[in-house]
Amino acid sequence: MIKKKIAYSKESELMLADAIRRIAQPARRSFLQRTVTLGGLALLTGCSIDDQQSVETALGKVSSWNDRIQGLLFDPNKLAPTYPESMITRPFPFNAFYGEDEAPEVDGDQWRLELSGLIADKTPWSLRQLRAMPQTDQVTRHICVEGWSAIGKWGGVPFATFLKRIGADLSAKYVGFKCADDYYTSIDMATALHPQTLMTLTYDGKTLPRSYGYPMKLRMPTKLGYKNPKHIHAIFVTNTYPGGYWEDQGYNWFGGS
Amino acid sequence: MSKPDIIHPRWLRLSHWANALAVIVLVTSGWRIYDASPFFDFHIPTGITLGGWLAGALQWHFAAMWLLVVNGLIYLGINVFSGRLKRQFFPLTARQLLADFAAALKGKLAHADPRHYNAVQRFAYLFVMCDIALVVMSGLVLWKSVQFPLLRELLGGYESARRVHFFCMATLVGFFIVHIVMVALVPRTLLAMVRGR
């Protein structure tokens, strides 16, 4: 599934290596078993951790609680810092759960953005229609859950404008995304409506390249990298928690600042 | 506060061990998080990290942070409002610190009354309080860089805050090692922190 491929930088090699390690682990259920220090911790606390499932459940509950806290902390008017174009990271690192040469090839002419859920006008959108909407761009910092960050320039349609245009229920809790690389994720409505949340069609002034999510990705400088879906082909609005590819495996759902 | 032979009151002992647990979980899970994208030419051996993989480490880290912060605020609150902070940690003069440090190196530092800290202890404990405060603040910037712009800029931005967070951790681990060595040299201090006397 994963091939080692020439990476852009040392950082992306590390990312890829980490992705390979993750995928090489057949069952995430066993992630606690692998931990040598957990035994020491158990001695220290005097707690029995025979039932690893319960430890995992407890940590999952704290993570959900953290989602709520983060929702309360999120100020919809606070903007992520922007940078001059001279500070753009070149080349901007590629990162996904697969190698760069395995990024999906999407035919932009055939591509249609499907809409479903709590949306008044569910007519699919073409790339041409999206490009005809008012465009804006931003130079912001992309922060990966692994810790590294890189500055890039993304352009496209403010997501709030689009959501209003299609008559999405803006009081709904979640917006979910389905992607051509079988990735999926979801975000809170407050972040969806944040002024810097962008339906991205360009990178650094050019058509969004395949490796960065052609034909369209959602760019949110207030969220970690894995919350920014690429190659989106379907958007839905819902009140039912939709989860996500990494989130379902234990990564925090809110995943942002 | 309580009986005169009590060296450490119960709240202090509870807070101390809660803090120890939080620090151990945070440091070992933090090492695992660091390993996901090291910014130095080394990584932390996996065997001494907590969490098994990045997501597990992050879950431990973002659970234990609440223990560190809530317990730390309770500790500081009781210390400040009971007057213990002023009583136990001050005055602290450079001269006394140097004198006690020299005495400690010669193995002649008096422990006449274990209820009172010598100048080296005062300095070390105040120092580690500040270190933990800074590790929490830099952690806030890493977790919520958009929501805390002033803190972010004070720490020199996101990438700089990562380094600050790391060096605070390294300092904390350094304190931990010296702390353990001192306890090994004077084992009754461990007893005092367990049973109060």
- Coil, strand, or helix at residue A203? strand
Of all residues in chain B, the one with the smallest CA distance to A63 is B59
The answer to whether A183 touches A245, Cβ cutoff 8 Å, is yes
Structure tokens at B64: 């234990």
- As a whole number of angstroms, the distance between CA B136 and CA B134 comes to 5
Q: How many domains does chain A have?
A: 1
- As a whole number of angstroms, the distance between CA A184 and CA A248 comes to 10
ipTM of the complex: 0.91
- Mean of all residue pLDDT scores within chain B: 94
Per-residue pLDDT of B10-46, as tens digits, reads: 999 999 999 999 999 999 999 999 999 999 999 999 9
Looking at residue A252, which CATH number applies to its domain?
A: 3.90.420.10
Per-residue pLDDT of A166-223, as tens digits, reads: 999 999 999 999 999 999 999 999 999 999 999 999 999 999 999 999 999 999 999 9
> Who's near B100: CB < 8 A, 6+ residues apart?
B109, B118, B119, B120
B146 CB neighbours in chain A (<8 A) are 78-81, 221-222, 256-257
CA distance B24 to chain A (A): 8
Check if B17 contacts A (Cβ < 8 Å). no
Picking from B28, B56, B159, the nearest residue to A250 by CB comes out as B56
The domain of A178 spans: 1-257
Structure tokens at B192: 């005092």
A78 CB neighbours in chain B (<8 A) are 146-147, 149
- Coil, strand, or helix at residue A256? strand
Using CA atoms, how far residue A147 sits from A15, A212, B3, B23, B134, in Å, is 10, 19, 50, 20, 18
Check if A11 contacts B (Cβ < 8 Å). yes
Among A59, A94, A63, A117, smallest CA distance to A203 is for A94
Confidence class of residue B76 from pLDDT cuts 50, 70 and 90?
Answer: very high
pLDDT score, position B109: 75
Amino acid at A44: L
The answer to whether A63 touches A211, Cβ cutoff 8 Å, is no
Picking from A35, A249, A251, the nearest residue to B51 by CB comes out as A35
Mean pLDDT throughout A229-250? Answer: 98
**A interface mutation test: which of B14, B67, B146, B163 has the most A CBs within 10 A?**
B146
Domains recognised in chain B with CATH numbers: 10-195 (1.20.950.20)
Neighbours of B50 (CB within 10 A): 26
Structure tokens at B152: 């972010």
Q: Is B52 left (phi over 0), alpha (psi -120 to 50) or beta?
A: left
Confidence class of residue A40 from pLDDT cuts 50, 70 and 90?
Answer: low
- Coil, strand, or helix at residue A1? coil
CA distance B3 to chain A (A): 28
> Who's near A6: CB < 8 A, 6+ residues apart?
none
A79 CB neighbours in chain B (<8 A) are 146
Mean pLDDT throughout A29-41? Answer: 49
